[in-house]
Chains A and B, each alone.
Chain A
Amino acid sequence: MTGGGSLARRQKLSSVMSGTVAAASGLTVLPLALVLGYIVVNGAVGLNLDLITHLPAPVGEAGGGMANAFLGTLVLVALASAIALPVGILTGIYLSEFGQNAFADTLRFLTDVLTGVPSIVIGIVAYTLVVIPMQSFSALAGGVALAIIMVPTVTRTTEEALKRVPPTIREAALALGLHHWKTILLVVVPAGLGGIVTGVMLGIARIAGETAPLLFTAFGSRFWPTGLTGPIAAVPLQIFQYAIAPYQDWHRQAWAAALLLMLLVLGLNLVVRLATRTGFQREQA
């Protein structure tokens, strides 16, 4: 079954192909370098304190900032977390501690399916569930949309974190006469807390930059938020609207906001990565 002649030729093919796949790896990293590089350079040039302390200037005028969008993103992420964390963490606990049955397998499968639903579709769902009944775009609708996106991430990381807690710890607690639920609450969950926090951070990183599901739920605004039942601004939405608008100063602000958003998202990811340090080769060993 040797396809290719002499040993020398086969070895040459091997090294040529090794070079090719190494080059391909370089190609996968190249876009990251380009995008990060441009965002850092263009963002740093346009960054000023006004961006996070001032409201947007009237349309077409230079200056102003998007302080309301930063506050809005904070509100939206908090809302989404308030909805998604209980659901996600409890589902994760269920899957890890009681998950040896067909129902749990179905749940895992559905969680994966939910991860793959396009975020714009989640936006439509939040629109029909919240915006239509309330007859208004609202922070609440945006929070619901982001929560639906956050749940699968939190569920999956919670389950995996708790599964890594050694069974002997559970058995020791049970042997000491603790109820099953107390064992879970007082022993298993604290032992897996680091992993759960990781999941929460990944979930926040995932939703902080989401734009599509906010377009027709949170809708965006050029003013301070008026409450949870009215439209609210968000940083990714503002970046999108500024990027496609014809004003130079808006482009500058979009790059600067992009830099801050990128620092937040990649920062969270890096912290998680350093905290867990589960390179895949390590797991393999």
Chain B
Amino acid sequence: MSFGLLLLLLIAVMLVEMVNESAVSFSRFGLGFLTSSTWDPQQRVFGALPFIYGTVVSSLIGLAIAAPVGMAAAIFIVELAPPWLGNAVSALVELLAAIPSVLLGLWGIFVMVPFLRARVEQPIIERLPNVPFLAGPAYGVGLLAGCLILAVMVIPTIVAISRDVMAVVPKDQREAMLALGATRWEATTWAVLPYARSGILGAVVLGLGRALGETMAVTMVIGNRSEIPASLFQPAYTMASVIANEFTEATYELYISALIEIGLVLFLVTTALNAAARLLVWRTARAAR
């Protein structure tokens, strides 16, 4: 019990410490901190908008790739694959989740980024000049690379949770549909998915939480430039990345305070998303009981 209290205390301490340490920045910039796009440590001016923008856009695009793929894989594992194959895919996706972020980043820098630059970005720029969001030059590192690496990192979360909530949908549901003459796909879309809906939504929200806070792999491929990118191919920056890159270089109190304030925002947003997602998943599990 007392150790339980320790856990409670820890979360309280985390919050208090970060609020304390970010106070200097908050009193200096107020809420404008979140809407200003100037980040200039030399002039002692700090605005977090480029990082917030980079984090939100890369996470949402990453999620937009990962969510359909992850859900489809979960459907395959639970509804369609023979058990041995479902278990195998399931196990491999869990191994993907276990790969440390820095190793994905290493692969990203030396394999994915050169591939994107030469085989994806350059051809697109040449063939489709003047298309908004797809303007050159081709750096390789940039928003697109960040989105892709995030998609890879979020997929295991979405597959695992969607799989678990679909697996608890009672067999009767499917069998009733099949007995009425539905095909396997119809049984899945009409009997299983509606039943697991809030749990799947929870899986996506959980994935979003993971994407927002992901640090190393993104830092290694997104380019780290504190401007709001106009193109998918341009370097961007995320909240987690700016903390990772600049924290040890921050030489005065206001600078560190501004970085900790970014961390506080990240903490509050991911915690709120997580809490919401857990409630959604928990609701499906309870409904199935």
Interface residues of A (CB under 8 A from B): 1-2, 10-11, 13-14, 17-18, 20-22, 24-25, 27-29, 31-32, 34-35, 38-39, 42, 86-87, 90-91, 94-95, 98, 103-104, 106-107, 109-121, 123-125, 127-129, 148, 151, 155, 205-206, 208-212, 215-216, 219, 236, 239-240, 243-244, 251, 254-255, 258, 261-262, 265-266, 269-270, 273, 279-281, 284
Contacts and interface: CB of A to CB of B under 8 A. Distances in A.
Interface residues of B, number: 85
A90 B3 CA distance: 7
A205 B210 CA distance: 18
Contacts of B126: none
B31 interface: no
Contact of B70 (A28, A32, A87): A28
B128 interface: no
Interface in B50-73: 68-70, 72-73
Given A111-B7, A254-B106, A265-B100, A124 B278 contact: no
B209 interface: yes
B114 to A, nearest CB: 12
Contacts of B209: 116
B98 A265 contact: yes
A192 to B, nearest CB: 17
B263 A279 contact: no
Contacts of B69: 24, 27-28
Interface in B205-239: 206, 209-210, 212-216, 220
A208 B183 CA distance: 47
B111 A124 contact: no
A209 B101 contact: yes
B103 to A, nearest CB: 5
A28 B159 contact: yes
B134 interface: no
Contacts of B20: 128
